[in-house]
């Protein structure tokens, strides 16, 4: 998972992109980069979180009114510096690109580019393939019509995006800078990863535009949220700040919206909204749905709960709503150490386990002797849940119940969330009682899939990790997964 951002017509593009990246920091902490375009490209990128990767003093070097930026959570490649985004090419235009998602068939595409187009890719990252594929397509579709001093042929740019849709399998929300020409953004035909458009009036009366993974970045930069980029759509803001849109579509000519449910459940910031659905509101609804599920048992005293506590931070709104609905006290029984990374984002199992130990501290006075209902956003590997249950018991809880706002995750994600191995998933092929036992909790309560759908209120959703119904072909997914594992092992050797 990653965060992407682009601005066009900004009076201080470099600074805005930096500020916006800080708002998208939760989407990736491995590396960050900013690219702007004046007469030439200006690029700053490095490993680490935004403030470490990009020195504030260097922002002066980011000239120009247009730019793109990226914060990276590596789910592809080997984590080398060469893979840090944005990536650039100098032909047929200066093209810079950053994306969020995974191209499942990137290896086949890389091979094809090498054999048919003599384009050499130098990393094991899908962005390089996407960039070369787009550059090749844009050369074919725009070069013959682009004369000196003329602006770029926008229809040709959209035709190149269509070519990308025709060739790529997977999830991709992309921001692209075409030097001296404009800012392009597009989403895959299912719109699996988010991308929103914002605008604000400049002093000269024209509109500046921004594209971002999440609306919280737009708000921070004073751009008004206009709408989501539609699944399969491309938008291009040209050098005169005119916005062009082409609802490019998949080969069949139809789009089938399948935004990732996990954006609302776990990944996106609570202050964001996508597809018209506020993340915070969705999480409140998920808490209410959990309350409905156990209400009768509480009333009939089949289940006794003294207090409800979130496993911070994502599940907080759900825990608040659940406690409100049941009329049970809500407490912050576990305090988060803010100076360690989100465990889910850490790469290695050992690192994850160690991080859990330092991540949460129990408030003994609240927990001792209590029947505690802990609320978590989701249970993936179960590592965190198991350790937290143990922590709560060692802090004196008499009973530890665990409620998850996400139904059981039983299938891998090939679209940019880091749980690609079935065997790593605690719920894979397991009955509820067995998962409960593995986690060491007295009872485990999952949100129902229908309640998740209802809470988000969207007709189409990707829920493939819950039900195995993938929105794209996945015949190349096994080799994608194998390669990913090999890359990871290779990078550790
Ligand atoms: S498989 Fe799950 S995590 Fe991956 S995109 Fe679909 S809903 Fe999101």
Whole-model pTM: value is 0.93
Out of 262, 419, 477, mutate this one to test ligand 1's pocket (max ligand atoms within 8 Å of CB): namely: 262
| Coil, strand or helix at 339 | coil
Average pLDDT for 374-385: 94
Residue 184 pLDDT: 98
Asked whether 418 and 29 are in contact (CB, 8 A), the reply is no
Residue 30 pLDDT: 93
Beta partners for 309?
374
Give the distance (Å) from ligand 1 centre to CA of residue 223. Answer: 29
Q: Which atom of ligand 1 is nearest to the CA of 419?
A: 3
Does the C-beta of 104 come closer than 6 Å to ligand 1?
Answer: no
pLDDT class for 36, splitting at 50, 70, 90? Answer: very high
Per the prediction, the chain carries an average pLDDT of 91
Q: Which atom of ligand 1 is nearest to the CA of 258?
A: 6
Q: Residue 229 pLDDT > 90, yes or no?
A: yes
Average pLDDT for 219-231: 98
Average pLDDT for 447-456: 97
Residue 25 pLDDT: 97
CA distance 304 to 86: 53
CA distance 392 to 481: 36
pLDDT class for 24, splitting at 50, 70, 90? Answer: very high
**Closest C-alpha residue for ligand 1 atom 5:** 260
Q: Residue 145 pLDDT > 80, yes or no?
A: no
pLDDT digits (tens, 9 = 90+) for 196-213: 999 999 999 999 999 999
Average pLDDT for 414-443: 92
Residue 482 pLDDT: 73
Give the distance (Å) from ligand 1 centre to CA of residue 462. Answer: 6
Q: Which atom of ligand 1 is nearest to the CA of 414?
A: 4
Does the C-beta of 50 come closer than 6 Å to ligand 1?
Answer: no
The enclosing H or E element of 456 equals helix 449-456
Residue 419 pLDDT: 74
Residue 493 pLDDT: 43
The enclosing H or E element of 170 equals strand 170-178
Residues classed as catalytic: 2
Residue 197 pLDDT: 98
Does the C-beta of 477 come closer than 6 Å to ligand 1?
Answer: no
Q: Edge-to-edge, what's the strand order for the sheet holding 3-8? A: 41-47, 31-37, 66-72, 3-8, 207-212, 196-201, 224-228
Residue 364 pLDDT: 95
Sequence-distant (6+) residues with CB within 8 A of 171 are 100, 101, 102, 188, 190, 192, 193, 260, 415, 416, 472
pLDDT class for 250, splitting at 50, 70, 90? Answer: very low
Asked whether 392 and 439 are in contact (CB, 8 A), the reply is no
Task: Put residue 468 in one of left, alpha, beta given phi > 0 → left and psi -120 to 50 → alpha.
Answer: left
Give the distance (Å) from ligand 1 centre to CA of residue 281. Answer: 20
Q: Which atom of ligand 1 is nearest to the CA of 411?
A: 1
pLDDT digits (tens, 9 = 90+) for 251-295: 545 678 999 999 999 999 999 999 999 999 999 999 999 999 999
Mean pLDDT check: name the lowest of 110-119, 197-206, 454-463: 110-119
CA distance 110 to 130: 9
Out of 428, 463, 469, mutate this one to test ligand 1's pocket (max ligand atoms within 8 Å of CB): namely: 463
Q: Residue 489 pLDDT > 90, yes or no?
A: no
| Coil, strand or helix at 34 | strand
Radius of gyration of the chain (CA): 23
**Closest C-alpha residue for ligand 1 atom 4:** 413
Does the C-beta of 262 come closer than 6 Å to ligand 1?
Answer: yes
Average pLDDT for 109-113: 93
pLDDT class for 122, splitting at 50, 70, 90? Answer: confident
pLDDT class for 249, splitting at 50, 70, 90? Answer: very low
**Closest C-alpha residue for ligand 1 atom 8:** 260
Average pLDDT for 471-479: 84
Average pLDDT for 414-423: 84
For 344, phi and psi rounded to 5 degrees?
Answer: -65, -25
Does the C-beta of 186 come closer than 6 Å to ligand 1?
Answer: no
Q: Are strands 234-238 and 196-201 parallel, antiparallel or unpaired?
A: unpaired
Average pLDDT for 323-328: 98
Give the distance (Å) from ligand 1 centre to CA of residue 164. Answer: 21
Q: Which residue has the higher pLDDT, 353 or 99?
A: 99
> Cβ atoms within 10 A of the Cβ of 421, count?
13
CA distance 373 to 67: 46
Largest pairwise CA distance in the chain: 78
On the 0-12 / 13-18 / 19+ scale of CB atoms within 10 A, 125 is buried
CA distance 84 to 135: 19
Does the C-beta of 265 come closer than 6 Å to ligand 1?
Answer: no
CA distance 293 to 448: 9
Does the C-beta of 261 come closer than 6 Å to ligand 1?
Answer: yes
Q: Edge-to-edge, what's the strand order for the sheet holding 243-246? A: 87-89, 95-103, 170-178, 182-187, 234-238, 243-246
pLDDT class for 98, splitting at 50, 70, 90? Answer: very high
Residue 39 pLDDT: 78
Asked whether 225 and 219 are in contact (CB, 8 A), the reply is yes
Q: Residue 75 pLDDT > 90, yes or no?
A: no
| Coil, strand or helix at 315 | coil
């Amino acid at each position: 998972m990653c965060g992407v951002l682009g601005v066009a017509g900004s009076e201080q593009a470099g600074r805005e992109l930096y500020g916006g990246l800080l708002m998208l920091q939760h989407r990736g902490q491995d590396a960050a980069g900013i690219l702007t375009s004046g007469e030439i490209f200006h690029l700053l990128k490095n490993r680490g979180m935004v403030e470490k990767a990009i020195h504030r003093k260097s922002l002066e070097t980011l000239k120009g009114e247009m730019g793109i930026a990226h914060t990276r959570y590596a789910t592809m490649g080997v984590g080398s510096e060469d893979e840090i985004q944005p990536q650039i090419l100098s032909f047929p235009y200066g093209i810079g690109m950053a994306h969020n998602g995974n191209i499942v068939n990137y290896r086949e595409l890389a091979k094809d580019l090498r054999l048919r187009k003599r384009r050499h890719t130098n990393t094991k990252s899908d962005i390089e393939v996407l960039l070369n594929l787009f550059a090749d397509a844009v050369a074919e579709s725009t070069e013959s019509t682009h004369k000196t001093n003329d602006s770029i042929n926008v229809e040709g740019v959209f035709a190149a995006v269509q070519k990308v849709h025709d060739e790529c399998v997977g999830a991709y929300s992309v921001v692209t800078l075409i030097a001296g020409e404009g800012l392009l953004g597009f989403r895959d035909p299912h719109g699996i990863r988010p991308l929103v458009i914002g605008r604000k009036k400049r002093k000269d009366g024209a509109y500046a535009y921004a594209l971002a993974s999440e609306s919280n970045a737009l708000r921070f930069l004073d751009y008004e949220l206009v709408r989501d980029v539609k699944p399969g759509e491309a938008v291009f803001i040209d050098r005169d700040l005119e916005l062009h849109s082409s609802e490019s579509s998949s080969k069949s000519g139809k789009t089938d919206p399948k935004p990732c449910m996990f954006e609302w459940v776990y990944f996106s910031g609570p202050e964001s909204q996508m597809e018209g659905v506020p993340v915070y509101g969705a999480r409140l609804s998920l808490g209410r749905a959990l309350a409905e599920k156990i209400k009768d048992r509480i009333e009939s005293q089949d289940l006794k709960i003294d207090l409800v506590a979130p496993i911070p931070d994502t599940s907080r709104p759900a825990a608040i709503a659940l406690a409100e609905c049941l009329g049970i006290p809500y407490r912050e029984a576990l305090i988060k150490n803010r100076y360690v990374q989100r465990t889910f984002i850490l790469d290695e199992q050992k690192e994850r386990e160690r991080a859990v130990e330092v991540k949460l501290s129990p408030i003994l006075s609240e927990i001792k002797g209590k029947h505690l209902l802990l609320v978590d956003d989701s249970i993936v590997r179960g590592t965190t849940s198991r350790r937290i249950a143990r922590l709560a018991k060692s802090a004196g809880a008499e009973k530890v119940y665990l409620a998850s706002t996400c139904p059981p995750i039983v299938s891998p994600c090939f679209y940019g969330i880091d749980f690609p191995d079935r065997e790593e998933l605690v719920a894979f092929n397991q009955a509820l009682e067995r998962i409960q036992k593995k986690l060491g909790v007295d009872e485990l309560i999952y949100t129902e899939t229908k309640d998740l759908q209802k809470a988000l209120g969207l007709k189409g959703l990707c829920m493939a990790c819950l039900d195995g119904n993938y929105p794209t072909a996945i015949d190349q997914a096994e080799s994608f997964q194998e390669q990913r594992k090999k890359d990871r092992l290779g990078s550790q050797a």
